[in-house]
Amino acid sequence: MIDDEPLVTIRNLRFFRGDRVIFDGVDIDIPRGKVTAIMGPSGTGKTTLLKLIGGQLRPAAGTIQVDGERVDRLGTRDLYRLRMRMGMLFQSGALLTDIPVFENVAYPIREHTGLPESLIRKLVLLKLEAVGLRGARDLMPHELSGGMARRVALARAIALDPMMIMYDEPFTGQDPISMGVLVKLIRALNDASRLTSIVVSHDVREAAQIADYIYIISNGKVIEHGAPDAMMSSSSEWTAQFMNGLADGPVPFHFPAPGLEQDLMGES
């Protein structure tokens, strides 16, 4: 495997939800060993993109390659084999709510390896230590705060030492402290184990701070991509509006609607 070949290559991706176009010819390369941020306003299809990369959804057209394999074409068995090398951190954490933290992290290990119990215990404790929650091993998921749940989910995602982790909105709904913890953690995990990380987010500051490379998508297209510094000083009006969080600009504040006056007068 050539090292500077991208881990994920997406070409001419098209995807629909009913009649709505979500992606209309998107090209993305995710470099190996780096943190790539994919940003865009809510509802543009960032979660959808991760599900497409993970093979949970299939594109209408275009190709998605992960580590040389065509995700959009793989059969169930091969797809599951590939997923063992991918971790995904869902927005909600997606922990199994009926088993404690320890068992949640142990779950993928028990499922996919025949390791003896003593070794599983060591592995799980190491993963929990990495996210700073070794002491929380006996808690049930409902006893965790949002930030803790996300870190447990992260420990679970790295349980099988994947080649890549996808983070779906890791920063939303976090207080400043756990936000800082997560930012550090994502970076540290990426650098320590030569992971490839994809961070999907609309929190510009955190994502820009953490990323080596940024893609901005909107309205089904890649608007711009580049290194964080270049994006911050982008000449594109759109990018400038998004990166600086301005309410007004090329992206309208209003969802398309008939004129207010007309609406209020009740002439439909």
Partner 1 sequence: MLEQLARLGRIGIGSLEQLGRGHLLLLYMLAGISELFTRPRLLLNQLFSVGVLSVLIVAISGTFVGMVLGLQGYYILSQFGAEQTLGVMVAASLVRELGPVVTALLFAGRAGSALTAEIGLMKATEQLSGLEMMAVNPVKRILTPRFLAGFVAMPLLAAMFSALGVLGGYFVGVGLLGVDDGAFWSQMQTKIDLYDDVLNGVIKSLVFGFVCTWIALFQGYGSAPTSEGVSRATTRTVVHSSFAVLGLDFILTALMFGE
Q: With beta carbons less than 8 A apart as the criterion, state whether 216 and 227 touch.
A: no
Measured over the CA atoms of residue 89, residue 91, residue 96 and residue 101, the dihedral's sign is: positive
Span near partner 1 by CB under 8 A; candidates 105-113, 182-190, 191-199, 223-231: 105-113
Nearer to partner 1, 30 or 216 (CB): 30
67 vs 224 by CB, closer to ligand ADP? 224
Asked if 237 interacts with partner 1 (CB under 8 A), we say: no
Query: What minimum distance in Å lies between the beta carbon of 170 and partner 1?
Result: 14
The answer to whether 14 and 59 are in contact (CB under 8 A) is yes
Whether the Cβ atoms of residue 33 and residue 4 lie closer than 8 Å to each other: no
Confirm or reject binding of residue 225 to partner 1 (CB under 8 A).
Answer: no
Please identify, among the stretches 6-14, 17-25, 29-37, 94-102, the one whose residues bind partner 1 according to the rule CB under 8 A.
94-102
Here's the x/- map for partner 1, 32-61, by CB under 8 A: it reads as -------------------x--x-x-----
Q: Which stretch binds ligand ADP (CB under 6 A): 38-46, 71-79, 182-190, 225-233?
A: 38-46
The residue from 23, 26, 44, 157 that contacts ligand ADP (CB under 6 A) is: 44
Rounded-to-integer distance, Cα 209 and Cα 158, Å: 22
Query: Can you tell me the distance from the alpha carbon of 32 to that of 221, in angstroms, rounded to the nearest whole number?
Result: 23
From the CB of 3, what's the least distance to ligand ADP, in Å? Answer: 31
All residues at 6 or more sequence positions from 81 whose CB lies less than 8 Å from its CB, including other chains: none
108 interacts with partner 1 by CB under 8 A: yes
CB 165 within 8 A of CB 157: yes
- Least Å from the CB of residue 180 to partner 1: 25
Question: Does 17 engage in binding with ligand ADP (CB under 6 A)?
Answer: yes
Q: What are phi and psi of 9, to 5 degrees?
A: -125, 120
Map residues 37-66 to x or -, x wherever contact with Mg ion holds by CB under 5 A: ----------x-------------------
Using the minimum distance from each CB to partner 1, give the nearer residue, 31 or 108: 108
The bridge status of strand 20-30 relative to strand 164-168 is unpaired
**Contacting partner 1 within 132-161 (CB under 8 A):** 153, 156
Q: Is 81 one of the binding residues for partner 1 (CB under 8 A)? A: yes
Q: Which one of ligand ADP, Mg ion, partner 1, none interacts with residue 88, CB within 5 to 8 A by kind?
A: partner 1
Residues that bind ligand ADP (CB under 6 A): 17, 22, 42-48
Residues that bind partner 1 (CB under 8 A): 51, 54, 56, 80-81, 83-84, 86-88, 90-92, 94-97, 107-108, 111-112, 153, 156
